[in-house]
Amino acid sequence: FSGTSGLPIPPLLENILVTIKDKTVLDLGAGLGSGFCTYLLETGLRPSRLYSLDYDRQNFTTDAYPRVNKIVGSATTLPLKSSSLDLVYSHELTLDHTRLDYISTLQEIRRVLRPGGTYIADEYFDEIHRLCALHPRLVEKTGDYVHLIDNEKHLEALGFLPVLRAIYLPQDKPTKGALYLLQ
């Protein structure tokens, strides 16, 4: 994540990294832990300021990084105070949870973010579409995810200002990923 792609780090993300020790972060749909949150911890984020939320208690039996604040819960009803977070990060949230109410999730993310807070969504919508070919009933729902996060008017109606959308090809996946920074 530290610029190995050769691309410059966007100013907003660079500012987050420079001031990360003073931030409060949620790893949403944390699973076993994300590489990005490991990077944040290595960059200076204090473990006590990192919250990991996942709906499956089993995902907390092994930790990819030191997790002090483990929360078993739903992305659609975050058990956190309003305006309590500086950064929310999710990795493959819609791919791993194809029945997720993404609008409710985005509303909850907006609620828990402080003014000026940032949501970073790292998604693989190409993979979602490939899964939909195998499971046609998922097509409509996942198509809504793509349309929602790609449509600035929809995001603005939910209180988000789209700051960055970057398409990239991850080293470990044959499909394109999309990185979204929303404030």
**pLDDT, mean of residues 102-113:** 93
For residues 18 and 115, give the distance between their C-alpha atoms in angstroms, rounded to a whole number.
19
What is the predicted pLDDT for the residue at 101?
84
Nearest by Cα to 52 from 39, 68, 38:
68
**pLDDT tens by residue, 10-67:** 777 788 888 899 899 999 999 888 888 998 999 999 999 999 999 999 989 888 877 8
Question: Among 34-43, 112-121, 145-154, 156-165, which stretch is predicted with the lowest mean pLDDT?
Answer: 145-154
- Quick one: CA dihedral 129, 87, 39, 57, positive or negative? negative
pTM of this structure? 0.84
Which tokens go with 32? 């076993």
Mean pLDDT of the chain: 81
Residue with the larger pLDDT of the pair 104 and 149: 104
**pLDDT, mean of residues 135-139:** 55
Give the DSSP per-residue string, 50-71: EEEEES-GGGGSS-SS--SEEE
4 pLDDT more than 70: no
pLDDT band with cut points at 50, 70 and 90 for residue 97:
low
